Amino acid sequence: MDRRDIADLLVFQAIVEAGSFTRAAARMGRAQSGLSQAVSALEARLGVPLLARSTRSVRPTEAGQRLLEQVAPALRQIESGLLDVRQERDRPSGTLRLTAMEYPARAILVPALTEFLASYPGVRVDIHVSDRFTDIVKGGFDAGIRFGTHLEKDMVAVPVGPDISAAIVAAPAYYARRGRPERLEDLEAHDCLNYRTASHGDLFRWMFRQGARTVEIPVKGSATFNDAPVMIEAALAGLGLAYAFEPHVAEHLASGRLETCLDQFCPVWSGYHLYYPSRHQKSAALSALVQLLRCRHLR
Protein backbone atom coordinates (compact mmCIF):
# COMPACT_ATOMS: atom_id res chain seq x y z
CA MET A 1 0.00 0.00 0.00
CA ASP A 2 1.23 3.46 -0.89
CA ARG A 3 1.97 5.43 2.29
CA ARG A 4 -0.19 8.28 0.93
CA ASP A 5 -3.31 6.12 0.61
CA ILE A 6 -4.66 6.47 4.16
CA ALA A 7 -4.38 10.26 4.18
CA ASP A 8 -6.06 10.52 0.78
CA LEU A 9 -8.77 8.02 1.76
CA LEU A 10 -9.62 10.22 4.77
CA VAL A 11 -9.95 13.18 2.40
CA PHE A 12 -12.15 11.13 0.06
CA GLN A 13 -14.38 10.06 2.97
CA ALA A 14 -14.71 13.65 4.22
CA ILE A 15 -15.77 14.89 0.78
CA VAL A 16 -18.42 12.18 0.39
CA GLU A 17 -19.81 12.83 3.87
CA ALA A 18 -19.86 16.62 3.33
CA GLY A 19 -21.31 16.38 -0.17
CA SER A 20 -18.98 19.01 -1.58
CA PHE A 21 -15.34 20.02 -1.73
CA THR A 22 -16.16 23.39 -0.19
CA ARG A 23 -17.82 22.01 2.95
CA ALA A 24 -15.18 19.31 3.35
CA ALA A 25 -12.39 21.88 3.10
CA ALA A 26 -14.06 24.03 5.77
CA ARG A 27 -14.46 21.06 8.13
CA MET A 28 -10.88 19.88 7.66
CA GLY A 29 -9.34 23.35 7.73
CA ARG A 30 -7.62 22.79 4.40
CA ALA A 31 -7.66 24.45 1.01
CA GLN A 32 -10.25 23.15 -1.45
CA SER A 33 -7.59 22.80 -4.14
CA GLY A 34 -5.54 20.56 -1.83
CA LEU A 35 -8.47 18.20 -1.34
CA SER A 36 -9.09 18.04 -5.07
CA GLN A 37 -5.45 17.18 -5.72
CA ALA A 38 -5.50 14.46 -3.04
CA VAL A 39 -8.52 12.72 -4.56
CA SER A 40 -7.13 13.03 -8.09
CA ALA A 41 -3.85 11.47 -6.93
CA LEU A 42 -5.72 8.60 -5.24
CA GLU A 43 -7.79 7.99 -8.39
CA ALA A 44 -4.61 7.97 -10.47
CA ARG A 45 -2.96 5.38 -8.22
CA LEU A 46 -6.07 3.15 -8.16
CA GLY A 47 -6.81 3.60 -11.87
CA VAL A 48 -10.54 4.22 -11.38
CA PRO A 49 -12.64 7.37 -10.83
CA LEU A 50 -13.96 7.65 -7.28
CA LEU A 51 -16.04 10.84 -7.50
CA ALA A 52 -18.56 12.07 -10.04
CA ARG A 53 -18.16 15.84 -10.07
CA SER A 54 -20.56 18.50 -11.31
CA THR A 55 -20.67 22.24 -10.88
CA ARG A 56 -23.18 21.92 -8.02
CA SER A 57 -22.48 18.61 -6.32
CA VAL A 58 -20.14 15.69 -5.90
CA ARG A 59 -21.04 12.06 -5.31
CA PRO A 60 -19.14 8.79 -5.24
CA THR A 61 -19.03 6.63 -8.32
CA GLU A 62 -20.05 2.99 -8.01
CA ALA A 63 -16.40 2.05 -7.46
CA GLY A 64 -16.00 4.89 -5.01
CA GLN A 65 -19.10 3.84 -3.02
CA ARG A 66 -17.91 0.23 -2.89
CA LEU A 67 -14.46 1.31 -1.76
CA LEU A 68 -15.89 3.58 0.93
CA GLU A 69 -18.11 0.82 2.30
CA GLN A 70 -15.10 -1.46 2.60
CA VAL A 71 -12.65 0.98 4.16
CA ALA A 72 -14.96 3.17 6.27
CA PRO A 73 -14.87 0.87 9.34
CA ALA A 74 -11.07 0.79 9.27
CA LEU A 75 -10.89 4.56 8.82
CA ARG A 76 -13.20 5.08 11.80
CA GLN A 77 -11.00 2.76 13.86
CA ILE A 78 -7.91 4.75 12.85
CA GLU A 79 -9.60 8.02 13.76
CA SER A 80 -10.70 6.56 17.10
CA GLY A 81 -7.16 5.39 17.82
CA LEU A 82 -5.70 8.78 17.01
CA LEU A 83 -8.29 10.48 19.22
CA ASP A 84 -7.45 8.15 22.10
CA VAL A 85 -3.75 8.99 21.75
CA ARG A 86 -4.48 12.72 21.75
CA GLN A 87 -6.62 12.36 24.86
CA GLU A 88 -3.93 10.21 26.50
CA ARG A 89 -1.51 13.07 25.95
CA ASP A 90 -3.63 15.27 28.21
CA ARG A 91 -4.85 12.64 30.71
CA PRO A 92 -2.26 11.37 33.23
CA SER A 93 -2.01 7.59 32.94
CA GLY A 94 0.50 4.78 32.64
CA THR A 95 3.52 3.91 34.77
CA LEU A 96 6.02 6.45 36.08
CA ARG A 97 9.47 4.99 36.80
CA LEU A 98 11.35 7.10 39.32
CA THR A 99 14.75 6.80 41.00
CA ALA A 100 15.64 8.54 44.24
CA MET A 101 17.93 8.38 47.24
CA GLU A 102 16.48 6.84 50.41
CA TYR A 103 15.72 10.08 52.27
CA PRO A 104 13.87 12.00 49.49
CA ALA A 105 12.00 8.82 48.54
CA ARG A 106 10.79 8.49 52.12
CA ALA A 107 10.36 12.16 53.05
CA ILE A 108 9.29 13.74 49.74
CA LEU A 109 7.87 11.14 47.36
CA VAL A 110 5.93 8.88 49.71
CA PRO A 111 4.02 11.73 51.44
CA ALA A 112 3.01 13.08 48.01
CA LEU A 113 1.83 9.74 46.65
CA THR A 114 -1.44 9.63 48.60
CA GLU A 115 -2.64 12.85 47.00
CA PHE A 116 -1.12 12.09 43.61
CA LEU A 117 -2.49 8.56 43.15
CA ALA A 118 -5.91 9.56 44.48
CA SER A 119 -6.06 12.40 41.94
CA TYR A 120 -4.84 10.24 39.02
CA PRO A 121 -6.11 6.66 39.43
CA GLY A 122 -4.83 5.75 35.97
CA VAL A 123 -1.20 6.27 37.04
CA ARG A 124 1.12 3.70 38.61
CA VAL A 125 4.51 4.50 40.12
CA ASP A 126 7.61 2.30 40.17
CA ILE A 127 10.18 3.75 42.59
CA HIS A 128 13.79 2.57 42.57
CA VAL A 129 15.66 3.61 45.75
CA SER A 130 19.42 3.87 45.41
CA ASP A 131 22.24 6.20 46.44
CA ARG A 132 23.91 5.47 43.11
CA PHE A 133 23.90 8.29 40.55
CA THR A 134 21.74 6.67 37.90
CA ASP A 135 21.69 7.53 34.20
CA ILE A 136 17.93 7.86 34.03
CA VAL A 137 17.82 7.68 30.23
CA LYS A 138 19.90 4.51 30.09
CA GLY A 139 18.05 3.06 33.06
CA GLY A 140 14.63 3.69 31.52
CA PHE A 141 13.48 6.09 34.24
CA ASP A 142 11.14 9.00 33.66
CA ALA A 143 12.68 11.17 36.39
CA GLY A 144 14.79 11.10 39.53
CA ILE A 145 15.38 13.04 42.75
CA ARG A 146 18.88 14.08 43.80
CA PHE A 147 20.73 17.03 45.28
CA GLY A 148 20.75 19.99 42.90
CA THR A 149 24.56 20.11 42.83
CA HIS A 150 24.74 16.54 41.48
CA LEU A 151 22.75 16.95 38.29
CA GLU A 152 23.90 16.88 34.69
CA LYS A 153 23.59 20.13 32.74
CA ASP A 154 21.21 18.65 30.15
CA MET A 155 18.60 17.93 32.82
CA VAL A 156 15.55 20.01 33.71
CA ALA A 157 15.67 20.38 37.51
CA VAL A 158 12.70 21.37 39.66
CA PRO A 159 13.27 22.17 43.37
CA VAL A 160 11.17 19.89 45.56
CA GLY A 161 12.80 20.65 48.89
CA PRO A 162 14.66 23.48 50.70
CA ASP A 163 18.41 23.88 50.79
CA ILE A 164 19.95 21.57 53.37
CA SER A 165 22.66 22.26 55.96
CA ALA A 166 25.32 19.67 56.58
CA ALA A 167 26.00 18.67 60.18
CA ILE A 168 28.75 16.83 62.02
CA VAL A 169 27.04 14.74 64.67
CA ALA A 170 27.91 12.32 67.43
CA ALA A 171 26.31 10.87 70.54
CA PRO A 172 26.88 12.66 73.89
CA ALA A 173 28.72 9.54 75.07
CA TYR A 174 31.26 9.95 72.27
CA TYR A 175 31.94 13.60 73.16
CA ALA A 176 32.31 12.62 76.83
CA ARG A 177 34.88 10.01 75.85
CA ARG A 178 36.83 11.81 73.08
CA GLY A 179 36.04 15.51 73.48
CA ARG A 180 34.36 17.86 71.03
CA PRO A 181 36.36 19.07 67.99
CA GLU A 182 36.48 22.84 67.61
CA ARG A 183 38.70 23.21 64.51
CA LEU A 184 38.79 21.26 61.28
CA GLU A 185 42.32 20.17 62.16
CA ASP A 186 40.94 18.45 65.26
CA LEU A 187 39.24 15.84 63.08
CA GLU A 188 42.61 14.15 62.61
CA ALA A 189 42.47 12.99 66.24
CA HIS A 190 38.88 11.73 66.10
CA ASP A 191 37.15 8.53 65.07
CA CYS A 192 35.14 9.54 61.99
CA LEU A 193 32.58 7.26 60.39
CA ASN A 194 33.39 6.95 56.70
CA TYR A 195 30.81 6.65 53.96
CA ARG A 196 31.55 4.71 50.78
CA THR A 197 29.72 6.19 47.81
CA ALA A 198 27.51 3.89 45.76
CA SER A 199 28.44 5.36 42.37
CA HIS A 200 32.23 5.09 42.48
CA GLY A 201 33.00 3.08 45.60
CA ASP A 202 35.36 5.73 46.95
CA LEU A 203 35.20 7.29 50.40
CA PHE A 204 33.21 10.50 50.70
CA ARG A 205 35.42 13.48 51.55
CA TRP A 206 33.84 15.65 54.18
CA MET A 207 33.06 19.06 52.71
CA PHE A 208 33.32 22.26 54.75
CA ARG A 209 33.10 26.00 54.29
CA GLN A 210 36.22 27.87 55.45
CA GLY A 211 35.80 31.58 54.79
CA ALA A 212 35.03 31.94 51.10
CA ARG A 213 36.57 28.56 50.27
CA THR A 214 35.12 25.07 50.16
CA VAL A 215 37.51 22.46 51.50
CA GLU A 216 37.32 18.68 51.31
CA ILE A 217 38.85 16.59 54.07
CA PRO A 218 39.48 12.83 53.87
CA VAL A 219 38.75 11.49 57.35
CA LYS A 220 39.89 8.38 59.20
CA GLY A 221 38.00 6.03 61.44
CA SER A 222 37.52 2.44 62.46
CA ALA A 223 34.23 1.91 60.57
CA THR A 224 33.06 2.48 56.99
CA PHE A 225 29.48 2.23 55.71
CA ASN A 226 27.75 2.31 52.33
CA ASP A 227 24.34 3.08 53.83
CA ALA A 228 23.60 6.47 55.43
CA PRO A 229 20.83 5.33 57.83
CA VAL A 230 23.09 2.55 59.19
CA MET A 231 25.93 5.07 59.57
CA ILE A 232 23.63 7.31 61.61
CA GLU A 233 22.75 4.32 63.80
CA ALA A 234 26.47 3.84 64.39
CA ALA A 235 26.75 7.48 65.47
CA LEU A 236 23.82 6.98 67.84
CA ALA A 237 25.68 4.01 69.31
CA GLY A 238 28.65 6.27 70.07
CA LEU A 239 31.03 4.79 67.50
CA GLY A 240 32.21 8.15 66.17
CA LEU A 241 31.51 11.38 64.34
CA ALA A 242 29.27 11.28 61.26
CA TYR A 243 28.80 13.71 58.37
CA ALA A 244 25.04 14.00 57.90
CA PHE A 245 22.37 16.40 56.74
CA GLU A 246 20.21 18.14 59.32
CA PRO A 247 16.82 16.88 58.09
CA HIS A 248 18.15 13.31 58.18
CA VAL A 249 19.04 13.60 61.87
CA ALA A 250 16.57 16.27 63.04
CA GLU A 251 14.64 13.85 65.24
CA HIS A 252 17.81 12.67 67.00
CA LEU A 253 19.05 16.24 67.47
CA ALA A 254 15.72 17.27 68.98
CA SER A 255 15.79 14.35 71.43
CA GLY A 256 19.42 14.99 72.40
CA ARG A 257 20.55 11.55 71.24
CA LEU A 258 22.89 13.31 68.81
CA GLU A 259 24.66 16.65 69.11
CA THR A 260 26.44 18.75 66.50
CA CYS A 261 29.91 20.23 66.38
CA LEU A 262 31.90 22.40 63.96
CA ASP A 263 28.66 24.16 63.04
CA GLN A 264 30.46 27.27 61.79
CA PHE A 265 32.21 25.22 59.09
CA CYS A 266 29.22 23.22 57.86
CA PRO A 267 28.04 24.27 54.37
CA VAL A 268 24.54 24.54 52.97
CA TRP A 269 23.85 22.14 50.12
CA SER A 270 21.46 22.80 47.24
CA GLY A 271 18.23 20.98 48.15
CA TYR A 272 16.61 18.02 46.49
CA HIS A 273 15.45 18.46 42.90
CA LEU A 274 13.26 16.33 40.70
CA TYR A 275 15.04 16.07 37.35
CA TYR A 276 14.33 14.67 33.90
CA PRO A 277 16.01 14.94 30.46
CA SER A 278 15.49 18.29 28.77
CA ARG A 279 15.41 16.65 25.35
CA HIS A 280 12.49 14.34 26.25
CA GLN A 281 8.86 15.44 26.16
CA LYS A 282 7.17 15.04 29.53
CA SER A 283 4.21 12.69 29.73
CA ALA A 284 0.99 13.98 31.24
CA ALA A 285 1.67 11.85 34.34
CA LEU A 286 5.13 13.31 34.85
CA SER A 287 3.83 16.84 34.30
CA ALA A 288 1.20 16.25 36.99
CA LEU A 289 3.81 14.91 39.44
CA VAL A 290 6.15 17.84 38.79
CA GLN A 291 3.32 20.28 39.44
CA LEU A 292 2.31 18.54 42.68
CA LEU A 293 5.83 18.33 44.10
CA ARG A 294 6.52 21.95 43.17
CA CYS A 295 3.34 23.09 44.94
CA ARG A 296 4.11 20.99 48.04
CA HIS A 297 7.58 22.52 48.19
CA LEU A 298 6.18 26.06 48.02
CA ARG A 299 3.52 25.53 50.70
Range of the domain at 258: 164-269
The DSSP H or E segment spanning 163 is none
Q: Are residues 278 and 153 in the same domain?
A: yes
Q: Are residues 116 and 211 in the same domain?
A: no
Q: Are residues 78 and 100 in the same domain?
A: no
Q: Residue length, the chain?
A: 299
Taking alpha carbons only, the member of 82, 80, 65 closest to residue 12 is: 65
The whole-angstrom separation of Cα 27 and Cα 25 is 5
User: Residue 53 maps to which CATH number?
Assistant: 1.10.10.10
User: Residue 204 maps to which CATH number?
Assistant: 3.40.190.290
What pLDDT does residue 96 have?
95
Of 70, 90, 110, the domain-final residue: 90
The whole-angstrom separation of Cα 207 and Cα 222 is 20
The whole-angstrom separation of Cα 297 and Cα 299 is 6
User: Residue 289 maps to which CATH number?
Assistant: 3.40.190.10
Q: Are residues 129 and 11 in the same domain?
A: no
Of 29, 58, 90, the domain-final residue: 90
Taking alpha carbons only, the member of 118, 119, 116 closest to residue 127 is: 116
Q: Are residues 202 and 76 in the same domain?
A: no
Q: Are residues 138 and 284 in the same domain?
A: yes
3-state secondary structure of 138: helix
Q: How many domains does the chain have?
A: 3
Q: Are residues 142 and 284 in the same domain?
A: yes
Q: Are residues 154 and 276 in the same domain?
A: yes
Of 39, 70, 90, the domain-final residue: 90
What pLDDT does residue 79 have?
75
Q: Are residues 72 and 202 in the same domain?
A: no
Q: Using the 8-state DSSP alphabet, how is residue 106 labeled?
A: I
Q: Are residues 224 and 277 in the same domain?
A: no
Q: Are residues 148 and 288 in the same domain?
A: yes
What pLDDT does residue 114 have?
92
Torsion of CA 183, 184, 188, 191, to 10 degrees: 90
Q: Are residues 139 and 284 in the same domain?
A: yes
Segments of the chain with pLDDT less than 50:
none
pTM confidence score: 0.67
Taking alpha carbons only, the member of 262, 265, 269, 259 closest to residue 238 is: 259
Cα–Cα distances in angstroms (integers) from residue 164 to residues 131, 141, 216, 270, 284, in the given order: 17, 25, 18, 6, 30
What pLDDT does residue 173 have?
97
- Cα 198 → chain centroid: 21
What pLDDT does residue 86 have?
64
What pLDDT does residue 83 have?
65
